[in-house]
Amino acid sequence: MDIGSSVKLSGISLSNPLISGAYINSKTLEDIEILSKSSCGAIVVGSISLKPRSQNTGHGYWRHKERFYSLNSYGMPNGGMPYFKQKLPTIAKVAHANHKVLIANLVGFTPEEFIELIKLAQDSGVDLVELNLSCPNVWDDGKQKVILSYYPDLINELLKKILLTKPRIGIGLKLSPLPPNLLVEVSKIIAKSKTVKFVTATNSYPNALTSTGTKVEDEVIFAGLTGRALKPISLGMVKQLRALLPSSIDVVGCGGVSTANDVTDYLSVGATAVQIATALIEEGPSIFDKILFQGTTRF
Ligand code: RRO
């Protein structure tokens, strides 16, 4: 399997199937300038929320000493509408000048907030949006914000409201790791929504702890699990989604990708492309060159 060839994601050509996923260094114009110089096919900017958010206190990121997994609890720090209204058009221009597709990862706390953010992306020259239905680390006053992926009725309501606005931009959903029954239910909603062009599986597994603790501060105890340990779960979800969704909806693999073999694993179960995030933290943007030039030991 050739992982260096162009692919079409929701009708848009990527020079290769490697996408830099939303992570801690994909939130500013300067971050995107750096990622634009890498050899990925597309860049995700975000997560972007309506209001600016600062990082949860504490380190935000922990790695297992043998790198079996990582944990994060950043809490979605980003400049919000004030920053992105000004910078997103330039971010899109920078990505396009470097032949990268630009995907904006958006987080609303109500359907109306999602709709406002979709409009911002549309008006700023972004190519696709990815609605983040899966951020595990947002806590206000000690209470965790709802992780939409686990609430099919709320997803249904959100997609119906978005459809009424007749969005011009292709819309994707980034999901949490889901158990099989919920996955079937959510897939049915996505399949009949007429709103969704791609699904990314998966974001981090919520509310993880290590034996040494992941305590950030008293009210923020848990973190999202990513990296190698997540890959079998995300890979299984991609295969299930590919069987559950119509072929008009693409599936993007995400979880534990750091080698060419990881990429072929996802593509071989039906992913159109893959996102890389934890390995970007660990290895930096040269990860894309490493993957593209190392070749695979299978297929
Ligand atoms: O910022 C975060 O803590 C975060 C986000 Br928005 C997300 O979607 N997934 C994640 O693991 N961390």
Task: Report pLDDT digits (tens) over 225-236.
Answer: 999 999 999 999
Q: Given the CA of residue 47, which atom of ligand 1 is nearest to it? A: 6
Q: How far apart are CA 292 and CA 21, in angstroms?
A: 17
The reported pLDDT for the residue numbered 245 is 98
Q: Summarize pLDDT for 169-197 with one digit per residue, the tens.
A: 999 999 999 999 999 999 999 999 999 99
Q: How far apart are CA 9 and CA 102, in angstroms?
A: 12
The reported pLDDT for the residue numbered 67 is 85
The reported pLDDT for the residue numbered 59 is 76
Q: Which residue has the tokens 């206190």?
A: 57
Q: Given the CA of residue 226, which atom of ligand 1 is nearest to it? A: 11
- Residue whose Cα lies nearest atom 9 of ligand 1: it is 135
Q: Summarize pLDDT for 118-140 with one digit per residue, the tens.
A: 999 999 999 999 999 999 999 88
Convert 231-259 to b/e letters by CB count within 10 Å (16 or more is b).
Answer: bebbbbbbbbbbebbeeebbbbbbbbbbb
- Residue whose Cα lies nearest atom 1 of ligand 1: it is 76
Ligand 1 pocket: which residues have CB below 6 Å?
47, 72-76, 132, 134-137, 203-204, 224
The reported pLDDT for the residue numbered 217 is 47
CA of 204 to the centre of ligand 1 (A): 7
Q: Given the CA of residue 132, which atom of ligand 1 is nearest to it? A: 8
The reported pLDDT for the residue numbered 81 is 97
Q: Residues in the chain with pLDDT < 50?
A: 216-220, 299
Opening angle at CA 266, ends 265 and 268, nearest 5: 65
CA of 261 to the centre of ligand 1 (A): 25
- Residue whose Cα lies nearest atom 7 of ligand 1: it is 135
Identity of the amino acid at 284: G
> The pTM is what?
0.95
The reported pLDDT for the residue numbered 212 is 61
Ligand 1 pocket, mutate which of 31, 54, 72 (most atoms under 8 A from CB): 72
